[in-house]
Amino acid sequence: MFTGGQTNGVDLDVSTEAAAEVRLNLPKLWDPVAGDDYTVREAGDNTIVEFADPVDGDEVRTVFVEMPEAETGTAYTVGPAEVTPDVGEEADQQVWTAVPETEDRKVVAGVSAGF
């Protein structure tokens, strides 16, 4: 659960056998505001956060997102996380693969009181 109107952290625990680039699909209304070095682009109903540094081994990537104010019970889909072994290639040359079981529904618990 997340609180609408507040900033929340999303951590990705990543384990690879070789260098790979990682990205995370977020709902379009979520605004990435901080975290590990990343770039953002929109694709359809998603905001895609592409982390700048490749992962090689066991690492964590973090992004902080500002949640939109929404009614209690509003659900959003986070994920999937995606990886590509095409490290350093031009974006149009990379093939991304969704990581199984990295998609989750998050529910807004309420609106921030602004304290």
Task: Give the pLDDT mean for 94-115.
Answer: 81
Question: Within the chain, what is the greatest distance between any pair of CA atoms?
Answer: 47
Question: Which residue type, as a one-letter code, is found at position 40?
Answer: V
Q: Which of 48, 50, 63 is nearest to 21 (CA)?
A: 50
Domain map (residue ranges) of the chain: 2-111
- CB count in 10 Å sphere of residue 15: 8
Topology adopted by domain 2-111? Immunoglobulin-like (2.60.40)
Q: Say what the pLDDT of residue 113 is.
A: 56
Q: Say what the pLDDT of residue 79 is.
A: 92
Q: Say what the pLDDT of residue 7 is.
A: 86
pTM: 0.86
Judged against a pLDDT cut of 70, whether residue 83 lies above it is answered with yes
Q: How confident is the model at residue 100 (pLDDT cuts 50, 70, 90)?
A: very high
Judged against a pLDDT cut of 90, whether residue 6 lies above it is answered with no
In terms of DSSP H, where are the helices of the chain? Answer: none
CB contact set of 98 (below 8 Å; sequence gap of 6+): 80, 81, 82
Q: Decide: 76 and 47 in contact? Cβ < 8 Å.
A: no
